Every structure is written in structure tokens, then in C-alpha cells.
Amino acid sequence: MIHVPAGAARPGATARALVLATHPAPAVAVTAVATLLAVAADVPAGRAALLCAAVLAGQASIGWSNDWLDADRDRAVARADKPVVQGDVTPRLLRRAALLAAGIAVVLSLLLGLVPGLLLLLLVASGWAYNAGLKRTVWSVAGYVVGFGALPAGVVAAAPGDATAPWWLVAAGAALGAAAHLANVAPDLEDDLATGVRGLPHRLGARVSAAAGALLLAGASLVLVLGPPGRPTTAGWAALALAAPAAVVAALSGGAPRFRRLAFPAVLLLTVLDVLLLLSGGATLA
């Protein structure tokens, strides 16, 4: 039987902590959305796999940089959900992992070509800028709007030929990104304010942020349904039906603390389902 000395890291704890520090739910959701869009845009299988790996590396780098740069803040408010606070991983290791993943994302993205590569890396740069200080300003939402507007543009640009993403896809991505920002910040508003973070949601307040997030969700879904040429498909109407409960959860998050941690997963789930319905409806993305 192996005994672990008091204060020593538990076997496997560091590996698990590194996975948790990537913020796996949003990382996987964003990667899934990018991969599904690549399928819808007729990106060849090999390039789609490369794109998937590039986006996942970029998302991992954003998650690791977030927990590295916020380590002191998270300790100050005793964020028990953060591996660095639990002592299972050090900020130094998170910094190394973040920089390595960012380097991998740069290489893999540029292998897709200059234009798609730079567009995909705009999402990574936006995430790093947010973590590095943009979150403390009134422009905190800008990183999400720019990054998630650039993501579908980069995916479509990776398709053969001179493909360009339609306006409605970029607009929906930007709106969903803004909604994700408002929902993601909601559960931590008080902790953020206590450690000097005053981004746009903090300045608007919980109720206004929740209402804005709900409107953005509804607006993004409307754009995805009504934006493509031709009459809306059955899948499109289904997407609108799915948007309703997600928007309700987002709206309730402003006044009911128990709903705050549901708002962000609702945005992620709605985004993935919207893309799946977009696929099933046969919308042309280029």
C-alpha cells in the first residue's frame, strides 16, 4: 500500500487539475461548434480534423491562462472550484501549459492557411486579452464579440476555394459570444467586484446583464433562422423553440442566484444545438 505524505500531491491530482483548468465545458463546446461548422462548410475531413485540433489547443491555452493569471484573485475569494486554489496545480505549471498550448494553436491554425489561421487565432488572442486585463474594463464583452464572430469566419475560410462566411453566421456568432460573456460572469459578480474586476456586466448589474443576455440569445437564434436565403426550415423553427427556455434561464439569472450557474451551460448547449439544427436544415455556409 502506498502512503502519500501530508501536503504531497495526490497521485493523478495534477493531471486531473490540468484538465479541469482548461475549463472543459466551454472548451469542448467551442471545439464541437467549430468542427460541426467545418462539416457544414464542406471542409475536407483531414483539414476539419486539423481545425478541430487547432481550436481545442487554443481553447486549452485560454483556460490555462485564465487560471494562471487569476490565481491570486481566486485564492483571495477561496474559489473552491479552482484547482490552483485546491493546491493540485501551480500557477507556474499553468503558465507553461498555456504558452505551450498557444504555440501549438498558432502552428496548427496557420497550417490551414494564412486567412483561416489568422481568423481562428483572433479567437485565441481575444481570450488571452480578456484574461490579461480586458475583463476589468467596460470593453470586456469585446473579446467575446470579436473572437466568436471570427470563429465561424475562420472555419468557412478553411473550406476549398475562396469561401467567405455569410454575414448572418458571423453576426450570430458575435451575439452568442456576447451572451456567453454575460452568462459566464453572472455567478461570480460579487467575487469579481471584491477583487477589483469591473467589466461591462458588473457595471450594468445582474438584472440588466441578464435581460441583455436573454435578448442576445433570442436575437442570435432569429438571425440563424431568418438569415439564410429562402424560407426557414423545420429545423430552423426547432432552433427558435429551443432558444426560448435558454433565454428564460438567462433572464432569470439576474434575480435568482440559483439560476446563475445554469445560464452559461444553457448558452453553450443552445449554441451546439443551433449548429446541429443548421446542419440538418442544409443551410449554405459559404
Residues in contact with 196: Cβ distance below 8 Å, sequence separation at least 6, in sequence order: 136
Residues in contact with 21: Cβ distance below 8 Å, sequence separation at least 6, in sequence order: 63, 64, 67, 82, 83, 84, 89, 94, 97
CB 156 within 8 A of CB 164: yes
Give the relative orientation of helices 140-157 and 24-40 as an angle to the nearest 10 degrees.
Answer: 40
Instruction: Tell me whether residue 54 is exposed, middle or buried, using C-beta atoms within 10 angstroms of its C-beta: 0 to 12, 13 to 18, 19 or more.
Output: buried
Does pLDDT of 285 surpass 90?
no
> Given this model, what pLDDT does residue 13 score?
85
> Given this model, what pLDDT does residue 96 score?
97
Q: In sequence order, which ranges of the chain are alpha helices (DSSP H)?
A: 13-21, 24-40, 45-69, 71-76, 83-86, 91-110, 114-132, 140-157, 167-185, 189-194, 200-204, 206-226, 234-252, 257-281
> Given this model, what pLDDT does residue 283 score?
62
Predicted structure pTM score: 0.89
Cα end-to-end distance, the chain, whole Å = 60
Domains of the chain: which residue ranges? Answer: 13-281
> Given this model, what pLDDT does residue 6 score?
35
pLDDT band at 284 (very low <50, low <70, confident <90, very high): low
Q: Name which residue leads in pLDDT, 168 or 187.
A: 168
Q: Distance from CA of residue 38 to its chain's centroid?
A: 17
Query: Distance between CA atoms of 65 and 59, rounded to whole angstroms?
Result: 10
> Given this model, what pLDDT does residue 272 score?
83
> Given this model, what pLDDT does residue 258 score?
65
Q: Name which residue leads in pLDDT, 266 or 201.
A: 201
Residue type, 109: S
> Given this model, what pLDDT does residue 2 score?
33
> Given this model, what pLDDT does residue 30 score?
95
> Given this model, what pLDDT does residue 211 score?
85
> Given this model, what pLDDT does residue 28 score?
95
- Considering only CA atoms, which of 235, 204, 219 is closest in space to residue 145? 219
Residue 152, C-alpha cell as written in the block: 465561424
Does pLDDT of 8 surpass 70?
no
Mean pLDDT of the chain: 86
- Considering only CA atoms, which of 180, 280, 162 is closest in space to residue 220? 180
Does pLDDT of 4 surpass 50?
no
Percent of the chain residues topping a pLDDT of 90: 51
> Given this model, what pLDDT does residue 1 score?
34
Query: Distance between CA atoms of 18 and 97, rounded to whole angstroms?
Result: 8
Query: Distance between CA atoms of 22 and 227, rounded to whole angstroms?
Result: 33
User: Residues 129-159: pLDDT tens digits?
Assistant: 999 999 999 999 999 999 999 999 999 999 9
Query: Distance between CA atoms of 280 and 46, rounded to whole angstroms?
Result: 22
